[in-house]
């Protein structure tokens, strides 16, 4: 009895896959109707096509993370050790090396990141103070 059910179920799948798929697409294409597009800017939702606020080129650059200091320092050695390595593979190797570092080995990079973060905060405060002075004029 169980063998008959298995045989029937395999027959069903064989018959469903052997039917041409184009008949379904013909039905859906003929039954669909186009909706009219909404006009006017008031109904436009913010999404992929929305314009972003322009970034000020004079604004200070963000501070680098400890990993980025490590990656910038080690990138050339990884390329020398693995000639012909692709860009994506370089990132993978650097990530694996970073994960393998102990806390003690990461410490100099963490210090550089903290110093860079402080630099960014100081520059940002100076930038924002200068921006506030310009607004008062």
114 within 8 A of 65, measured Cβ to Cβ: no
Q: Domain coordinates of the chain in residue numbers?
A: 66-131
Task: Give CA–CA dist 137/118, Å, rounded.
Answer: 30
Q: What is the pLDDT of residues 72-128, one digit of tens each?
A: 999 999 999 999 999 999 999 999 999 999 999 999 999 999 999 999 999 999 999
pTM value? 0.58
Q: What is the pLDDT of residues 21-79, one digit of tens each?
A: 555 555 555 556 666 665 555 555 566 777 888 888 889 999 999 999 999 999 999 99
**Burial readout 89-105 (b: 16 or more C-beta within 10 A, e: otherwise):** ebeebbeeebeeeeeee
Pick the CATH number of 66-131 from 3.40.50, 1.10.4100, 2.60.40, 1.10.30: 1.10.30
């Amino acid at each position: 009895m169980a063998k008959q059910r298995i045989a029937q179920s395999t027959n069903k799948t064989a018959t469903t896959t052997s039917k041409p798929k184009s008949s379904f697409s013909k039905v859906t294409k003929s039954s669909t109707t186009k909706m009219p597009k909404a006009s006017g800017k008031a109904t436009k939702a913010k999404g992929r096509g929305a314009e972003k606020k322009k970034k000020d080129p004079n604004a200070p650059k963000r501070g680098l993370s400890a990993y980025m200091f490590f990656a910038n320092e080690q990138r050339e050695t990884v390329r020398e050790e693995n000639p012909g390595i692709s860009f994506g593979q370089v990132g993978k190797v650097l990530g694996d090396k970073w994960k393998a570092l102990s806390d003690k080995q990461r410490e100099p990079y963490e210090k550089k990141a903290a110093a860079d973060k402080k630099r960014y905060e100081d520059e940002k405060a100076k930038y924002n103070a200068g921006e506030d002075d310009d607004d008062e004029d």
